[in-house]
Structure 1
Amino acid sequence: MLEAILHGFILAFGLILPLGVQNVFVFNQGAVHPRFIKALPVIITASICDTLLISLAVLGVSVVVLEYYWLKAVLLSAGICFLVYMGFVIWKVTPKVDEKKKDILFTPKKQIAFAMSVSLLNPHAILDTVGVIGTSSLKYAGIEKVAFAVVCILVSWLWFTGLGIAGRLIGKIDKTGRFLSILNKISAIVMWGTAVYIGFTLASETFYS
């Protein structure tokens, strides 16, 4: 039991830590909204989406996806397009926290819709949950598998909540939005780099298959 809990915590934390569009969006919404409670829609939505993906992966969806190469190829191809597009979107955004520009100050409905897209259409989310968490859970059974899944889910909820709080603190300090602008540029570069890497991996698997 303890092994499953520690494994789930370390694995989930390691996977969710890298900079990506999902993390940046949660952080940005925490930073630009005047009150933390206004950013709760994006935090809750991102957490629920991760909960869904992790649950499906642990229940065995990962086995199905990895078994059929064409399905994996379709998902990753869609993910590549998504990363390239979102990279351009985030690169163009120039946050100015003090002016509360409407292009980054999302309403609750927009927060939910955008959070769902960056969570469920993100190849990082698919690869992390289906390819890593799902396959890692195969070594456990019964209560140990449940404990492993629950810990992974809890890490997501705690991480996104902490990210929103950190964004709110930075938003109070960085009134010009310069930090957020730099963060967006770095995130865009990471997304494009990831898209290229996934593309080369997919191409090599197709060539050698």
Structure 2
Amino acid sequence: MISAFINGFVLATALIIPIGPQNLLIFHQGAVQPTFKKSMPTIITSALADTLLIVVAVFGVSFALQAVPFLEPLLYLIGVGFLIIIGWTIWKSNSTTKTFQQKPYSGKKQVFLALSVSLFNPHAILDTIAVIGTYATHYHTRLETVSFAFACILVSWLAFFLLAHAGNRVKQWDKSDRLFTYIQKASAVTIWLLAFYFIYQAFLSR
């Protein structure tokens, strides 16, 4: 159980570090909202959406793979390919500071945008299903699976609060987009390393 929790925590942390549309929106709202509290609609909506995706991925995908065994290697390949492509996209993308308008959003607009980049983003869905859902098949007891899923959910909630808080702090001293460029490059490298780790776990450690 403890091992499953640790593995879930590490895997989810590695997946959530790269700056994608969801993380960017949360960080951005933390930076442009007048107070940290004003960014809560984005944080809560994103966290709840991630929780839903993780639960569906861990339990739904696990059941599907048990019923159709040949889907497992296919999902592994999809997950690795997805990670490599997204890493390259992040590496080549322009400064993220121009992605959103530099003004605070209303609560309703925050909820709408958070749902859009969480539930209707193919990258986020593949990330959750192909990586977290497939990795969950390593565990064969209900307790281990629940521990793994709980760790992944916990990481999402912690990360989103920290991202918004970081945005709130950064706006006080960073007036250029140089920091965001460094973050993008580090995000790309992190996700490539995760892809190689996933290959090892899926094909070489058995």
| TM superposition score normalised by structure 2 | 0.69
Indicate the percent of aligned positions where both proteins have the same amino acid. Answer: 45
Question: Which amino acid letter does the alignment assign opposite residue 121 of structure 2?
Answer: N
Structure 1 residues 182 and 6: CA distance shift in structure 2, 3 A: closer
Residues 185 and 4 of structure 1, relative CA distance in 2, 3 Å threshold? closer
Deviates more, 1:126-135 or 1:46-55: 126-135
State the secondary structure of the residue aligned to 1:55.
helix
- The aligned amino acid for 2:144 is E
> Aligned partner of 2:18: which letter?
P
Gaps of 5+ in 1: 96-100, 195-209
Matched, 1:54 2:33: no
Partner SS, residue 137 of structure 1: helix
Aligned counterpart, 1:106: 105
Partner of 1:13: 13
Q: Which amino acid aligns with 2:59?
A: L
The offset of 1:173, in angstroms, is: 1.8
SS of 1:173's equivalent?
coil
Task: Name the counterpart of 1:165.
Answer: 165
What are the residue-to-residue correspondences of 1:98-177 with 2, within 5 Å?
101=102, 104-140=103-139, 141-174=141-174, 176=175
Matched letter for residue 153 of structure 2: I
The one-letter code matched in structure 1 to 2:9 is: F
**Amino acid of the structure 2 residue aligned with 1:23:** N
Gaps spanning 5+ residues in structure 2: where? 192-206
* 2:165 aligned partner, one-letter code: I
Q: Given that residues 91 and 184 in structure 1 are in contact (C-alpha distance below 8 angstroms), is that contact kept between their aligned partners in structure 2?
A: no
Instruction: Tell me the matched-pair count.
Output: 169
- Provide the alpha-carbon RMSD of the alignment: 3.4
Contact 1:31 1:171 in 2 (8 A): yes
Give the secondary structure class of the aligned counterpart of 2:105. Answer: coil
What is the alpha-carbon distance in structure 2 between the residues aligned to residue 133 and residue 94 of structure 1?
28
For 2:17 and 2:97, locate their aligned partners in 1 and report how far apart those are by CA, in whole Å: 21
CA deviation vs aligned residue, 1:9-61 (integer Å, no higher than 9, x gap): 11100111111111111001000111000001101111111100000001124
State the alpha-carbon separation in 2 of the partners of residues 151 and 134 from structure 1.
13
Q: Is the 8 A contact 1:91 1:185 kept in 2?
A: no
Measured in 2, the distance between the counterparts of 1:130 and 1:91 equals 29
Distance 1:92 1:159, change over 3 A: closer
Q: Give the superposition deviation at 1:94.
A: 7.4
How far the C-alpha of 1:92 sits from its partner, in A, is 4.8
Residue identity matched to 2:169: L
Say which SS state the counterpart of residue 18 (structure 2) adopts.
Answer: coil
Offset of residue 154 of structure 1: 0.2
Looking at structure 2, the residues matched to 93 and 151 of structure 1 have their Cα atoms a distance apart, in angstroms, of 30
- The Cα shift of 1:123 comes to 2.5
- TM-score normalised by the chain length of structure 1: 0.68
Aligned to 1:197: none
Counterpart among 171, 183, 188 of residue 180 in structure 2: 183
Distance 1:3 1:170, change over 3 A: same
